[in-house]
Amino acid sequence: MRPTRALVWLAAPILLWVLLASAAERWEAIQALPRVAIEVTFSPNHPDLTPEDVRRRVEEALRRTQPAPAIDQASADRLHLTIGVRSYSSSDLRGFYLPLSQAYGIGPIRLVVERPAAISGLPSPVWATVWQTERQAKGPWRSSASEILELADEVVGSFLADYRRAVGQ
């Protein structure tokens, strides 16, 4: 057997074990998540969407899908959706002006589960990310609001799928 094939046969089981272990860790982090507070942050603000509109949409998704953590704004654990879509002109992207150019909405839509973590020496707990996923918005600015909502639904769906796996359903 060639040395490269032997290396592959040795490395493949180890790699598979690492991938399965990391998936298990990802799910274990959200296994004991009975309730969450929901927070939505826009940076920068979007002219066609408000954080409250998106928060209601996330709440509706959690309420209509079971199993899902209960919504409790007083919970120490939080589901934090950060939307960082900005308007870029095609001149900014291209580096020079062309007539009839348009603007594009580009940026991340990130959903994280955060828990407070006490660190010795600090007076108060810090937020620790225990689960996250992200999608990239990259379309015309005029349709960026609908793309943001679609991608927000997608990241919430990803969270709920992992949550179902974590609780064994």
- The string of pLDDT tens digits covering residues 111-135 is 999 999 888 998 999 999 999 999 9
Mean of pLDDT over the chain: 86
Count of domains for the chain: 1
Under 8 Å CB-to-CB from 148, ≥6 apart: which residues?
Answer: 46, 49, 54, 83, 85, 105, 109, 137
Distance CA 135, CA 86 (A): 14
Nearest one of 53, 8, 59 to 35, comparing CA atoms: 59
For the segment 70-108, what is each residue's pLDDT rounded down to a tens digit? 999 999 999 999 999 999 998 888 788 777 778 999 999
pLDDT band at 18 (very low <50, low <70, confident <90, very high): very low
Nearest one of 79, 80, 103, 83 to 43, comparing CA atoms: 83
Range of the domain at 119: 3-167
Residue 66 per-residue DSSP state: S
pTM exceeds 0.85: no
Distance CA 54, CA 81 (A): 9
Torsion of CA 80, 85, 86, 90, to 10 degrees: 160
CB burial of residue 128 (10 Å; 0-12, 13-18, 19+): middle
